Chain A
Amino acid sequence: MRAMRAMWMRLRGLASGRRSDGEFDAEIAAHIALHTDDGVRAGLSEAKARRRALIRLGGVEQTRQAQRERRTLPWLETFLQDVRFGARVLVKSPGFTVTAALTLALGIGATTAIYSVVKAVLLAPLPYKDPGSLVAVWTANPARGDQPLPSTPGDFAVWKQRSGVFEDLAPSYDSEVTLTGQGSPQFLLGYAVSANFLRILGVAPQLGRLYTDQDDAAGGAKVALLSDHLWRTRFGADAGIVGRAITLDGNSYTVLGVMPRAFNYPANVEIWTPSAMAPSASEDFDNSYVRTLGRLRPGVSIVQAQRTLNALETQVAAAHAKTDSGNRVMLVPLREQLDGDIRKPLLILMGAVVFVLLIACANTAGLALARNAERQKEIAVRMALGATRPRLLRQFATESVLLAALGGAAGMALAAAGTHTLLGLFPNDVANLNIPQVTQIPIDRGVLLFAFAITMLTTFLFATVPVLNAMRTGTGSAMKQSVRGGTASRWSSRSRSEIVICEVSLSLILLTAAGLLVASFQRVVSAGLGFNPDRVLSLEVFLPRDRYPSEDGAKRRLFVAETLRRLNALPGVKSAAATNFLPLSGFWGTTGFLLRGQATPKNGEAPEADNRIITPEYLSTMEIPVLRGRGFTDADREGSLHVALINETMAKTYFKDKDPVGEALNLGSAEKPDWWQIAGVTGDVKAFGQDQPTHADIYRPFDQIPFPLIAFTIRTANDAGAMTRTAEQAMWNIDPVLPVMKAITMNLLTAQTLAVRRASSTLIASFAALALVLACVGIYGVMAYAVSRRTREIGVRMALGAKRADVLRMMLGAGFRLAAIGIAIGLAGALAASRLLTSMMFEMSAFNPAIFALAAAVLGTTAVLASYLPARRAASVDPMQALRTE
């Protein structure tokens, strides 16, 4: 307590320095006067009395010093002195200070921002029991694009019973439902999951209970679990919700519980119901709809499990050749499953940002090294005047800390702004991307500290090396060396060269990677979608089974026809149409088909095409061209000849040079054919994004096959987004309780599809630009320093007959040599790095000589330019002046 008070008073003493000095001088004067008075009274002469008083005091100056040390905090005072001095030095050379601080800020800021995102997205712990052994199990088949797809209940049953690698395996399938009787009707993303599915994840509800295996039996109780989000938004977080009845698709379900807020698997699901798999389902090898979650047995690796399952699947395929031939089982760790499309770009960005940090370190190191080497003379003078080594070191350290503090503060601000911007990478309502939901990204303190520490350490190290150097060589020789001004010491010139080479090679790797990604992005953007997304609004709805049963196609037709009529009548609407799976929406379905005369293939490799159902105006509304034959008309209706359109990809793949128009497709089976005559060929549509392969498409008229999933597409005269409310109202005039799943303009949907690619290419391009600027500054600094060190040498050379051009060539050559070595190393690194980028390339190879050459040329030019200014300064040296300097 008292010690605290004393410390506080001493801190205050720092502020009142001069005033207190004066007051104490007065007190000492009084003391001496009083003592002298006593002496005089005792009979001494004035002078003698005064002399005695001074001796007894122990010296005025010593007393004053002791008093000052007690009054303030001496170490703090020295520190403040250093800070003041350091600040003055930094202010005196603003070029160095701003460059170094900015470099540090960029390094610290970029690293922190990106790592914070990586941590929030890829490294955040999953809220499940032992998530490391959780896997999603998919079936891939070359006939179906070799993509991980849902499996059949038959396969699932075999894996569960016979594989032996799983502790537990659980089925699930999507089951969208419409919630009614709770305000306006709402379409809910639902999942039917088995009871053990939730047990495998190891989650407990925040309210109520999970369902049991009895609840989950076929024909079991109609029960449901709500998501925290649904519970809050629809049920007002009603604590008494458990046991209440709710209406889903017209059926009554009992709410069993509410899941915790953090539980979000599968992503965005609002309601979980029992899967209620019938025992007979284990005989079903035809319908692929089961999404499987498993927990591996302890000690079983994912590779082992994959091998075992594929061996098993080969046996299954032997027994069920028709359906399972060619099947491959794919195990995906849950972590990767959740990270989805964002994982790779983030890791690449993380790599890029580490490079930026390294370059920033190299840059400040080079700057500090060059700068403090210039100060060897200053150091020598100060040592000659009695400064001790620790004192000098402390002063230089303080300077580094000051610089790092400046850079760190700016870096922190940058990181905060950066994470905020990066949050835009995660548009949470994007259905067509598989990325985890992240609503906020806290700045990671650990990495902030790390980046700060590492940059500070390099700055400090390279700032003190010349100081130590000067100290070791001793006062005299340092002064002499500096005065004589010979060439730079070998050690410092070698480390400077190494720094430049490092910077050049790192920058080149970044520049190449950026070039590849940006070129790919440009290709993607310019690839075109196959339809015109401008001024098109889409409304997605799902006709609930209870009110629009599949037997009652007429009701569905009436709804669509009436809605389209109303939409077309709206002012500002050019045309309106409908389809089942909206391009880019992330929803799609396929249908198998047979050509005339083609028997059902023995293996399961019946060709498949995307199942697209449209109203007649759809092609014209979306501006999808009809290449051959005709589009649909109102005459293609229920009861008339079944007609279909195919896209160009399908025509090329299955009809080669033959004209498909007039041919027929069997969408049933060989035994029960279902013939559709091909009326025309349409242009290709990039339904999954510009960077995804086009599938074969079969279009059929809605009137002939009224599908319950409907996306209205409305081309407007002006702003499509502004029409949303009006369009919804028009539809609600026909069916006032039909929920809109999603209303979005096609332009926005397109932008969202490209979001991750755009963000990663923009970011890496900015990192590369950053690296280029940093490298440029670094090279300039080092070269400028070299010139200033060699001024005398240049003077001598010129005095001995060297021409200005020779000097210019010599200095440029020195810069170019370093750049060339750096470029050679960098190209090798870029070649290695480009292999990591292969999967992110679009219609181009990651080994792209043009981009490699361009990057090398840009960097070489930058290096030469950066050394040109200092070289010109060297060439303009006046030999007489140079010999006289210092």
Chain B
Amino acid sequence: MGGKTDVWQGTLALMVLRTLETMGSLHGYGLARRIEQTSGDLLELNYGTLYPALLKLEQEGYIRSKWGVSENNRRAKYYELTKAGHLQVKKAAEDWEQATAILARFLSPAEEA
């Protein structure tokens, strides 16, 4: 994969939610591009995997979708956060921060033995 990283299990949902939170409403392709850009092109997303993830979030009621028209006049399905989605971003972000903080303690060089 040459310097690019696969998406870790379970993190894609958080990325989607967070991206939708900052960008408002996006279609699937736009969302995928945006996630890659945000990662500084370090992530290489298999675009096909995005759609089941979106469907799962929609089934869980965190996002909703409706058909709209893109800037270059293509009909596309747009996704946006629901109220529950907004809450979930906050909660998931906190969980994630806590998890990384814990992991960071293990990975930082041992100061006192």
Contact = CB atoms under 8 A, between A and B. Distances in A.
Contact of B77 (A27, A37, A71): A27
B47 A67 contact: no
Q: Tell me whether chain A's interface is mostly helix, strand or loop, or mixed.
A: helix
A19 interface: no
A63 B70 contact: no
A70 B48 contact: no
B28 A70 contact: no
16 contacts: A2-B60, A2-B61, A6-B60, A27-B28, A28-B51, A30-B28, A30-B70, A30-B74, A30-B76, A31-B28, A34-B76, A57-B47, A58-B47, A66-B51, A66-B52, A67-B52
Interface of A: 2-3, 5-6, 9-10, 24, 26-28, 30-31, 33-35, 37-38, 56-59, 62-63, 66-67, 69-71
Nearest to A37: B72
Interface in B29-70: 29-30, 33, 46-49, 51-52, 55-56, 58-61, 70
Contacts of B74: 30, 33-34, 37
Nearest to A20: B55
A70 B52 contact: yes
B75 interface: yes
Contact of A70 (B27, B46, B55, B77): B55
Contacts of A57: 46-48
B77 to A, nearest CB: 5
Contacts of B52: 66-67, 69-70
A699 to B, nearest CB: 90
B46 A56 contact: yes
A9 B27 CA distance: 21
Given A66-B51, A71-B55, A31 B61 contact: no
Interface string B66-86: 000010101111000000000
Given A6-B60, A31-B29, A67 B77 contact: no
A663 to B, nearest CB: 102
Contacts of A5: 59-61
Interface residues of B, number: 23
Given A27-B76, A34-B30, A67 B51 contact: yes
Contacts of B33: 38
Contacts of B55: 67, 70-71
Contacts of B75: 26, 30
Contacts of A70: 52, 55-56, 59
B59 A58 contact: no
- The 4 A-B pairs with the shortest beta carbon distances in the complex, nearest first, are A58-B48, A63-B48, A9-B59, A70-B52
Contacts of B72: 34, 37
Nearest to B61: A5
Contacts of B47: 31, 35, 56-58
Contacts of B56: 6, 70
Contacts of B30: 34
A58 B49 contact: yes
B83 to A, nearest CB: 14
Nearest to A66: B52
A443 to B, nearest CB: 41
Contacts of A59: 48
B27 A30 contact: yes
Contacts of B28: 27, 30-31
Nearest to B53: A70
- Choose among A6, A27, A69, A71 the residue with the greatest number of B CB atoms under 10 Å from its CB: A27
Contacts of A6: 56, 59-60
A66 B55 CA distance: 10
A651 B95 CA distance: 105
Interface string B1-45: 000000000000000000000000001111001000000000000
B29 A35 contact: yes
B37 to A, nearest CB: 12
A277 B19 CA distance: 97
Contacts of B76: 27, 30-31, 34
B23 to A, nearest CB: 15
B21 to A, nearest CB: 18
